[in-house]
C-alpha cells in the first residue's frame, strides 16, 4: 500500500511544479494569473509540455516574459497575444478555432454524427423473420421422401 502511494506521488511529481522560486511574483494574484497563462503555452523546445511543466531554459525565459508583461499591466489575453505574435499559434496548447483548424474542431462532431447515422440505420433494419416450425403435413412429406429413397 505504501509502495503504491509512493509510486503515485512520484508519478505526479512533475505535474505540480510551476515556476521556480526565483521567478515567482510577490503579488499572489498576479502570480496566480501568470500560472494560468503558463499552463496554456507550449514549450517550443519540448513540445508536449507547457512552459509551466518544462524546465528547459527557453521555457523559463517565457515564464519570466509572462510575468514581465503582467507586471507591465497586460491582461491575460494581451500576454498570450504577445507570445503568439512571436511564436505563432504553435505555442497555444489549445488550438484557436479559425479557418485552418475548423476541420480539427468539427471532426469529432462529424464522426459522432456519421457513427450515429450508421447505428440508426443498422438498428432500424427489419429483423429477419423467424423460421416457422415445420407442421405435420411437412413431416409426413419428409417421411414419405425418405422412405422412397431408402
Partner 1 sequence: MNRVVLIIPVVLFAVIGAFFAWGLTRDPTAIPSQLIDKPLPQFEMAAIEGLDQGFSSDELKKGEVVLLNVFGSWCVSCHIEHPFLMQLAQNDTIKIYGLNWKDEPGKGKEWLDRLGNPYTKVGDDYSGRVALDLGVTGAPETFVIDKEGKVRFRVAMPITEQYWNNTLGPMIEELRSQ
Residues that bind partner 1 (CB under 8 A): 44-45, 47, 57-58, 61-62, 65, 85-88, 90
Q: Which is nearer to partner 1, 27 or 61 (CB)?
A: 61
CB of 142 to partner 1, least distance (A): 33
CB of 6 to partner 1, least distance (A): 34
Instruction: Please report where in the chains the cell 497575444 appears, as a residue.
Output: 81
CB of 92 to partner 1, least distance (A): 12
Q: Which is nearer to partner 1, 61 or 139 (CB)?
A: 61
CB of 5 to partner 1, least distance (A): 36
Q: Which is nearer to partner 1, 111 or 145 (CB)?
A: 111
Q: Which is nearer to partner 1, 36 or 86 (CB)?
A: 86
DSSP class of 22: G
CB of 134 to partner 1, least distance (A): 30
CB distance 69 to 34 below 8 Å: no
Question: Residue 95 forms beta bridges with which residues?
Answer: none
Amino acid at each position: 500500500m505504501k509502495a503504491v502511494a509512493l509510486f503515485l506521488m512520484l508519478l505526479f511529481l512533475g505535474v505540480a511544479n510551476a515556476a521556480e522560486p526565483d521567478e515567482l511574483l510577490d503579488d499572489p494574484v498576479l502570480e496566480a494569473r501568470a500560472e494560468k497563462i503558463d499552463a496554456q503555452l507550449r514549450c517550443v523546445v519540448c513540445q508536449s509540455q507547457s512552459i509551466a511543466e518544462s524546465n528547459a531554459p527557453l521555457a523559463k525565459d517565457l515564464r519570466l516574459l509572462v510575468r514581465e508583461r503582467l507586471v507591465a499591466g497586460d491582461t491575460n489575453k494581451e500576454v498570450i497575444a504577445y507570445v503568439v505574435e512571436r511564436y505563432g499559434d504553435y505555442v497555444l496548447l489549445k488550438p484557436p478555432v479559425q479557418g485552418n483548424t475548423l476541420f480539427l474542431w468539427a471532426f469529432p462532431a462529424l464522426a459522432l454524427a456519421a457513427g450515429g447515422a450508421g447505428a440508426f440505420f443498422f438498428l432500424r433494419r427489419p429483423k429477419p423473420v423467424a423460421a416457422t416450425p415445420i407442421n405435420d403435413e411437412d413431416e409426413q412429406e419428409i417421411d414419405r421422401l425418405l422412405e422412397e429413397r431408402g
